[in-house]
């Protein structure tokens, strides 16, 4: 398609957009009396309008039924989390029994490390990407120290090549082969938070399994954004937050994936709690843990239904649309944003370097050579909600549920005005 940097062209794309009606299903903040152009769905998704009812239903049941809401609410609380498994499984490419929702992301990674990081004297190393999201770095370092090991000797970081802004798959696989039989675990962010790169999860998983390591993925920036096939890729485990592209609300509950071959095992290392026991025996208060034959066995406490309610509301929208349609629009929307950036670059005395490679979801990280924090502040004051990362990068994530092609055009005009007004 030959793009044009005009309002008419952008509006024509919006008219042809099969998902255009879904924009109206979200609440937008306003700046200067107008809906914002929202580029931070990779940090916190907008609120779906149906979320309020899902939360209100639980509040009403709590008021009317009190403790009986666990079993007699319209959506009983004791199995509320089970309603999320099937739609989530479609989003991540899994079987429903391989998916559960509990806790928050880093908590779940810690829990999963209990099962899938089992260092020995000869196989103890962990491979991750250099400059992973800080929370992942802290989690890995603390896990290594917990096992009495030295993080500097245990954690192997994959670096970008000198002068390059992205990781090469062949370098990751080469390092996996180099570490070989010493490698206990591969744990990488499926989509890098800083540059928006999508790692070749299938190829990396295959390489990690080939040397006998467990392979897991932090999918915080991947779920609801890119195509995933965790079961078919033979991933051992994964975890993700729900408040970015999944639009479940700030700090909300995390999803987990545990490969089917690890389910139903009583002898797998695992921190266990009451809600991981089989439903049939849970209220018999037996002294021995009897694990559920699905990923819920990793749950330790009863589900936080007030947190799960907006997540379930958002998943209804994902059910309606499907990931294929979302990704199709995402690819076109992101390509149009890239075109707009290049067009603006031609018109101003600045240089924009897009550091996101072509292996991407709906995020472009843009290095603003010759510009500073002032341009970010200008965008924010003029209704463009974006994200600033040091030293000089703005992250733009045009989430396909609620971003429009006209948004991309308007953003370009505001960006140009901000640069020329200096």
Same domain flag for 241 and 349: no
Q: Is 40 inside any structural domain?
A: no
Query: Residue 372: what pLDDT?
Result: 73
Which residues form the domain of 333?
7-35+322-420
Q: Is 48 inside any structural domain?
A: no
CB neighbours of 180 closer than 8 A, spacing ≥ 6? 211
Same domain flag for 106 and 208: yes
| Collapsed DSSP state (helix, strand, coil) of residue 47 | strand
Task: Return d(Cα 312, Cα 324) in angstroms, integer.
Answer: 20
Task: Return d(Cα 194, Cα 11) in angstroms, integer.
Answer: 30
SS3 sequence, 381-405?
HCCEECEEECCCEEEEECCCCCCCH
Six token digits for residue 45 = 């998704």
- Our count of domains for the chain comes to 2
Same domain flag for 231 and 284: yes
CB neighbours of 334 closer than 8 A, spacing ≥ 6? 360, 361, 362, 363, 364, 398
Same domain flag for 246 and 370: no
Per-residue confidence of the chain (422 residues) as pLDDT tens digits? 899 999 999 999 999 999 999 999 999 999 999 999 999 999 999 999 999 999 999 999 999 999 999 999 999 999 999 999 999 999 999 999 999 999 999 999 999 999 999 999 999 999 999 999 999 999 999 999 999 999 999 999 999 999 999 999 999 999 999 999 999 999 999 999 999 999 999 999 999 999 999 999 999 999 999 999 999 999 999 999 999 999 999 999 999 999 999 999 999 999 999 999 999 988 899 999 999 999 999 999 999 999 999 999 999 999 999 999 999 999 999 999 999 999 999 998 777 899 999 999 999 999 988 777 888 999 999 999 999 988 889 999 999 999 999 999 999 999 999 998 87
Task: Return d(Cα 330, Cα 408) in angstroms, integer.
Answer: 12
Rounded to 5 degrees, what angle do the CA atoms 403, 365, 388 make? 90
Q: Nearest CA to 225 among 360, 132, 406, 332?
A: 360
Number of Cβ within 10 Å of residue 156's Cβ equals 17
Task: Return d(Cα 256, Cα 276) in angstroms, integer.
Answer: 14
Q: Is 2 inside any structural domain?
A: no
Six token digits for residue 31 = 């700046």
**Considering 301, 321, 341, which residue would you say is the last residue of a domain?**
321
Query: Cα 294 from chain centroid?
Result: 22
Q: Is 44 inside any structural domain?
A: no
Same domain flag for 261 and 351: no
Q: Nearest CA to 166 among 200, 138, 139?
A: 200
Task: Return d(Cα 350, Cα 357) in angstroms, integer.
Answer: 21
Same domain flag for 27 and 73: no
Residue 369 belongs to domain with CATH number: 3.90.1150.10
pTM for this predicted structure: 0.96
Same domain flag for 138 and 122: yes
Q: Is 415 inside any structural domain?
A: yes
Q: Concatenated DSSP letters for 326-383?
A: HHHHHHHHHHHHHHHHHHHHHHSS-EEEE---SSBSS-EEEEEET--HHHHHHHHHTT
Q: Is 405 inside any structural domain?
A: yes
| Collapsed DSSP state (helix, strand, coil) of residue 2 | coil
Same domain flag for 264 and 358: no
Same domain flag for 241 and 178: yes
Same domain flag for 310 and 355: no
Q: Is 185 inside any structural domain?
A: yes
Q: Residue 258 in contact with residue 120, Cβ under 8 Å?
A: no
Q: Is 175 inside any structural domain?
A: yes
Task: Return d(Cα 159, Cα 141) in angstroms, integer.
Answer: 18
**Considering 296, 321, 346, which residue would you say is the last residue of a domain?**
321
CB neighbours of 272 closer than 8 A, spacing ≥ 6? 289, 291, 297, 300
Same domain flag for 79 and 155: yes
Q: Concatenated DSSP letters for 171-228?
A: HHHHHHHHHGGGEEEEEEESB-TTT-BBP-HHHHHHHHHHTT-EEEEE-TTTTTTS--
Same domain flag for 27 and 72: no
Query: Residue 420: what pLDDT?
Result: 87
Six token digits for residue 422 = 């200096």
β-pair type (34-35, 30-31): antiparallel
**Considering 321, 339, 359, which residue would you say is the last residue of a domain?**
321
Residue 58 belongs to domain with CATH number: 3.40.640.10
Residue 282's H or E segment, with its range, is helix 279-282
Torsion of CA 136, 138, 139, 142, to 10 degrees: 160
Q: Residue 337 in contact with residue 375, Cβ under 8 Å?
A: no
């Amino acid at each position: 398609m030959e793009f044009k940097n005009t309002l008419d062209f952008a509006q024509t794309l919006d008219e042809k957009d099969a998902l255009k009606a879904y924009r109206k299903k979200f609440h937008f903040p306003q700046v200067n009396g107008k809906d914002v152009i929202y580029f931070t769905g990779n940090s916190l998704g907008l609120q779906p309008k149906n979320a309020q009812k899902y939360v209100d239903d639980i509040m009403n049941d709590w008021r009317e039924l009190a403790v009986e809401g666990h079993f007699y609410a319209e959506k009983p609380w004791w199995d509320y989390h089970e309603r999320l498994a099937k739609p989530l499984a479609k989003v991540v490419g899994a079987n429903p029994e391989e998916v559960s929702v509990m806790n928050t992301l880093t908590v779940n990674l810690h829990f999963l490390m209990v099962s899938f990081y089992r260092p020995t004297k000869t196989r103890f190393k962990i491979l991750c990407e250099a400059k992973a999201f800080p929370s992942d770095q802290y989690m890995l370092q603390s896990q290594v120290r917990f096992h009495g090991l030295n993080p500097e000797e245990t954690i192997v970081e994959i670096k970008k090549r000198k002068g390059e802004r992205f990781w090469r798959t062949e370098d990751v696989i080469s390092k996996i082969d180099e570490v070989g039989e010493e490698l206990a675990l591969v744990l990488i962010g499926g989509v890098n938070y800083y540059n928006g790169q999508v790692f070749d999860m299938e190829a990396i998983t295959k390489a990690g399994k080939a040397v006998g390591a467990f392979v897991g993925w932090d999918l915080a920036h991947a779920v609801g954004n890119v195509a995933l096939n965790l079961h078919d890729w033979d991933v051992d485990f994964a975890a993700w937050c729900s408040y970015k592209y999944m639009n479940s609300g700030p700090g909300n509950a995390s999803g987990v994936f545990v490969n089917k071959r690890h389910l139903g095992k009583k002898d797998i290392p695992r921190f266990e709690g009451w809600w991981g026991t089989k439903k049939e025996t849970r209220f018999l208060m037996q002294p021995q843990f009897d694990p559920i034959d699905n990923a819920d066995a990793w749950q330790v406490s009863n589900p936080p239904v007030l947190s799960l309610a907006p997540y379930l509301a958002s998943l209804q929208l994902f059910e309606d649309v499907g990931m294929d349609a979302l990704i199709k629009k995402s690819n076109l929307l992101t390509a149009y944003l890239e075109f707009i950036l290049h067009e603006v670059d031609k018109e101003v005395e600045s240089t924009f370097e897009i550091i996101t490679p072509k292996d991407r979801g709906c995020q472009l990280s843009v290095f603003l050579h010759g510009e500073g924090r002032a341009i970010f502040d200008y965008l924010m004051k003029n209704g463009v909600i974006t994200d600033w990362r040091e030293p000089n990068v703005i992250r733009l994530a045009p989430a396909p549920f609620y971003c429009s092609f006209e948004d991309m055009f308007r953003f370009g005009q505001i960006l140009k005005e901000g640069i020329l007004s200096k």
